[in-house]
Homo-oligomer: A and B are copies of this chain.
Amino acid sequence: MPGNTFGQLFRLTSFGESHGAAIGGVVDGCPAGLRMDTAQVQAELDRRRPGSTPLGTSRKEEDRVEFLSGIFNGETLGTPIGFILRNQDARSDDYGHLQDSFRPGHADLAWEQKYGLRDHRGGGRASARETAVRVVGGAIARQLLAAHGVQVRAWVSQVGAERLLIPYQELELDQVYASAVRCPHPEAAQRMADLIGLVRGQGDTIGGRISCVAQGVPAGLGEPVFDKLHADLGKAMFSINAVKGVQFGTGFDAIAMRGSEHNDAFVRKGASIGTATNRSGGVLGGISNGEDILFDVAFKPVSTLMRGQRSVDRQGGEVVLEGKGRHDPCVAPRAVPVVEAMACLVLADHLLRQRAARA
């Protein structure tokens, strides 16, 4: 089964190369009769646009989403929602030198090893440009989730060694996109921005961490034993370019913890039962338990450097490659809407899947 469709009942099929005619997608399974605010979808798309932050690249991609089907009089029809984003401002010449060379840290060679050929222009299908399609799909999913009281928000919680350790409950998550680095804590954001600037000046790049919280998720989502909610979220995150790690709740810190300190005690919360703490990150046994779902995503430093790197060409000869084109020194700020989008897709899918759980 080819790998460009995500989800079971709420599904996104994605297509498009970076420098082809267009990228686009099809959302199939969005329930009928949902009010769909396409301007809001465009607004979310604008958040991942290159150039949307002063720290990002200088590219000015328009990224206008054009909806082709599935929406009628402002409501979803229950039929597939097709959409495209025309590719513009493609400086394919910037990539001519890559036709026969393989950039370190990039998938150039791996794609050739897989398919025997590739579209080298702008990374082709391996370009992060394809994540724009995810953002559109996620924005549609988000409107379904919103109708069910679910809210998903992500932010940059670390750049290099600069980490934001303040609990999310104390952050102004509505202010994430007001920050160029997508960090809602002004002082931490400034430190991160300074670090990114420093690294950029060195022609180098740096990694980052995005944290994400989903609130209002009803208890009961997730399909054990394989399609556990956090398993599907984990896959969704690893499918994003440059992701090297994912953790839920305490994550890797749980290794050094005792059961007596890790277990979340059950307590009465009004008419229902909740947990006093949330070390599990809102998922128990692969099923949402009604608490906030919380996870972290680790991004490696961007592979394209603005300075020479030694590599080899198709014949195995040594070459020195230097980044051309326009690239971010840290992927995390622009990946925030992508993390949110993928989380929305997973949650919308499981929201629908849960409808079949009971007789």
* Contacts A/B (CB < 8 Å), 28 sampled: A5-B28, A9-B356, A14-B226, A16-B82, A17-B70, A17-B79, A23-B82, A29-B356, A82-B84, A102-B266, A104-B265, A104-B266, A107-B285, A110-B283, A110-B285, A113-B289, A114-B222, A130-B225, A160-B255, A205-B260, A225-B239, A230-B238, A244-B249, A244-B250, A244-B281, A254-B300, A263-B305, A265-B311
Closest B residue by C-beta to A121: B72
- Cβ-based interface call for A167 (8 A): no
Residue of B nearest to A317 (CB): B268
Instruction: Classify chain A: how many residues form its interface, as a range.
Output: 35 or more
Closest B residue to A311 by CB, please name it: B266
Check A75 for interface membership: any CB of B closer than 8 A.
Answer: yes
In the A-B complex, the 4 residue pairs with the smallest Cβ-Cβ separation, listed nearest first, are A107-B285, A3-B223, A3-B227, A245-B247
Question: Of the candidates B13, B124, B254, which one forms a contact with A77 in the assembled complex, judged by CB atoms under 8 Å apart?
Answer: B124
Instruction: Mark out the residues of chain A between 48 and 88 whose CB falls within 8 Å of any chain B CB in the assembled complex.
Output: 66-70, 72, 75-82, 84
A43 within 8 A of B: no
Q: Does A105 contact B (CB under 8 A)?
A: yes
B259 touches A204 (CB 8 A): yes
Q: Among A30-38, A169-177, A183-191, which stretch is in contact with chain B?
A: A30-38
From A289, which residue of chain B is reached at the shortest CB distance? B110
Provide the main secondary structure of the chain A interface: mixed
With A284-B110, A287-B111, A298-B247 known to touch, is A206 a contact of B259 (CB < 8 Å)?
Answer: yes
Bound: A22/B273 CA distance, A: 32
Q: In the complex, how many angstroms separate the beta carbon of A136 from the nearest chain B beta carbon?
A: 13
Q: Is the CB of A147 within 8 A of B15?
A: no
